[in-house]
Structure 1
Amino acid sequence: MGFPMAKRLCEAGYKLLIAVHKNHEKVEKLKEKGAIIKESFKEVILNSDIILTILPADEQVKKVLLQEEVVDNLKENQVLIEMTSCSPKTMKKIFYVYESKGVKVLDAPVSGGTGGAENGTLTLMIGGDANLVVDVSPILDKISTKKVIVGEAGAGKTVKMINQMLASIHMLAASEAFALAKQSNVDLQTLKDVIETSSGNSWVFQNKYENLMSQNFALGFRLRLMVKDINIALEEGGILELPLTNLTSNVYKMALQDYGEMDISAVSKKVF
């Protein structure tokens, strides 16, 4: 997700600083677009007014944003836009540390898939100050078409967590629907056409059904990251049993070893 978003910002003329990254190929492509590569996160922090992060999980968020050389070099009135799908607990910790340094923070996870990132049509679920959202809207508008303020810092991560919980369940439901249609000799394209204009439709069904038909699971949102997001929901659920989410989690975990690096639609391999 980060690469197409960064690419759009470069193409819009923003001066983009990137810390050295293990994905050298994508870094080089961004460099060709005008991005400036720095040797450390500290160098990025020292030379930036707005810091934008989108990382795989809580572990990386804490490792990057709470490391001493980053925190010690934060400047008053800098802005952090944190877009990772991580836990609300981690986001609140980041908020308190950065706020104590005078940094303004937006909790702004995204939804819309890689296609949305490439086309600049992502939805942002924002926790933070509405006036700050207005201030940074020229940047946010380059990557999104919908910005929804859902509360204070941490609320964005909570709403994203709920979205991911629903999406994971919808993916399994679509897989079972596809399997039943196939077994019943229903024309699979006709089924898609009908469901897309019926009450059983969902974003997941519309956008992942072609994967089920082609059995091509190479591109999209990695299954291992969805497992991470489901785990966040179960942890935050606390005393709630969340029975459907627990069942969904079990199926994704069964698919994790063989299909963890593939798109979430690969979970269907555990259905049919």
Structure 2
Amino acid sequence: MTPPDTIKHLTIGVAGLGAMGLPMARRLVQAGFRVVGYDVVQDRDYRSVPILTDPGEFAEQADVLLSIVRDEPQNVELCFAGQAVFRQPKYPKVFVLCSTVSPGFIGELAAQLPKDVTLLDAPMSGAPVAAEEGSLTWMLGGDAVWLDALSPLFSAMGTPLHKLGALGSGMAVKVLNNYVAASSVVAVRRALVACPKLGVLPEVLLDVMSQSSGQTWFGNRFLEIDWARQDYSPENTIGILEKDVKSFLKGLGDEPTAADEALLQSLRKLPAFPE
């Protein structure tokens, strides 16, 4: 399938309408794209996003599929197993993988997709607050013609768009980025917990760090990020950070270093930070 003159004539399927996927789908609707959504959780209020409950109907209607499900197993379920979108009689001809996964998984996915499907990797950064604002940062890899054609779609959900090269290059940059991001979450939370013992108000530290060498995306937006105070759970955003660090390590194919193990343990032991 070659890109049409305008992608506004295509139906965009968004799979995975959670904390990231739902506000992203809403942004596309607001920008005038034709959108259909799908999620295995079907008793949630999806408001302005048209929802299909049958995966076969979803596969038939969607020309371009954005996968915003959590991880590698959920993508396998979406594509080939439980929902089996790409085993339906009619299926999307462009698959945009937005989930953060190991770069090596992309090759495994590509080998199983039908030959007439174009696969792009398009992970994004910014957390739900940026998805709501339409200020996501994109890390894109794959066919340059399709990436150019889909630029208005990505831009409706945020800029900048980093077009990084061949398939897998976007995901490689994303897992590197998220390793650093996970490290900064642990460091900022450790410093905030230490504030009372040093006679410093946490909000004062956050303000000073935002203008100093200690500034980070997490620290700068701590008061806006809805999960910033979470403790660890495999099911929440801190758990997703753990998953992203593991995706980075899986992509390397090396034994974890002591620093890698310490980061994972620190995430798992992260206590809730009080209001």
TM-score calculated relative to the size of structure 2: 0.80
1:239 equivalent to 2:258? Answer no
Q: Which residue of 1 aligns with 2:149?
A: 135
Q: Which residue of 1 aligns with 2:14?
A: none
Q: Deviations over 1:58-117 (max 9, x none)?
A: 11001111238422347698211110012222222222333x421112100110111110
Percent of pairs identical after alignment?
26
Q: Secondary structure at the match of 1:52?
A: strand
Q: How much does 1:134 deviate?
A: 1.1
Give, in whole Å, the separation in 1 of the partners of 2:175 and 2:140: 13
Relative to structure 1, is the Cα distance of residues 237 and 209 closer, same or farther in structure 2, using a 3 angstrom cutoff?
farther
Q: How much does 1:119 deviate?
A: 1.1
> CA contact under 8 A between 2:119 and 2:142: conserved in structure 1?
yes
Q: How much does 1:34 deviate?
A: 5.2
Alignment coverage as a number of residue pairs: 249
**Long gaps (5+) in structure 1:** 260-265
Q: Which residue of 2 aligns with 1:121?
A: 135
> Which among 177, 181, 197 is matched to residue 211 of structure 2?
197
Q: Deviations over 1:16-75 (max 9, x none)?
A: 222353152233x1xxx251x323222212122111110011110011112384223476
Q: How much does 1:228 deviate?
A: 1.2
> CA contact under 8 A between 1:120 and 1:144: conserved in structure 2?
yes
Give, in whole Å, the separation in 2 of the partners of 1:239 and 1:60: 25
Relative to structure 1, is the Cα distance of residues 52 and 239 closer, same or farther in structure 2, using a 3 angstrom cutoff?
closer
1:11 equivalent to 2:30? Answer yes
> CA contact under 8 A between 2:95 and 2:119: conserved in structure 1?
yes
Q: Which residue of 2 aligns with 1:145?
A: 159
Q: Which residue of 1 aligns with 2:86?
A: 71
Q: How much does 1:155 deviate?
A: 2.1
> Which among 164, 175, 179 is matched to residue 161 of structure 1?
175
Q: Which residue of 2 aligns with 1:263?
A: none
Give, in whole Å, the separation in 2 of the partners of 1:246 and 1:216: 22
1:55 equivalent to 2:69? Answer yes
Q: How much does 1:152 deviate?
A: 2.0
Relative to structure 1, is the Cα distance of residues 75 and 96 closer, same or farther in structure 2, using a 3 angstrom cutoff?
farther
Give, in whole Å, the separation in 1 of the partners of 2:207 and 2:173: 30
> CA contact under 8 A between 1:76 and 1:101: conserved in structure 2?
no
Q: How much does 1:250 deviate?
A: 1.0
Give, in whole Å, the separation in 2 of the partners of 1:57 and 1:83: 10
> CA contact under 8 A between 2:101 and 2:244: conserved in structure 1?
yes
Task: Please state which structure has a larger fraction of its residues in helix.
Answer: 1
Q: Which residue of 2 aligns with 1:262?
A: none
> CA contact under 8 A between 1:3 and 1:26: conserved in structure 2?
no
Q: Which residue of 2 aligns with 1:230?
A: 245
Q: Which residue of 1 aligns with 2:43?
A: 24
Q: Which residue of 2 aligns with 1:44?
A: 58
Q: Which residue of 2 aligns with 1:83?
A: 98
Q: Which moved more, 1:228-237 or 1:49-58?
A: 228-237
Relative to structure 1, is the Cα distance of residues 209 and 247 closer, same or farther in structure 2, using a 3 angstrom cutoff?
farther
Q: Which moved more, 1:43-52 or 1:239-248?
A: 239-248
Question: Letter of the aligned partner of 1:9 in structure 2?
Answer: L
Q: How much does 1:146 deviate?
A: 1.0
Q: Secondary structure at the match of 2:204?
A: helix
Give, in whole Å, the separation in 2 of the partners of 1:19 and 1:190: 43
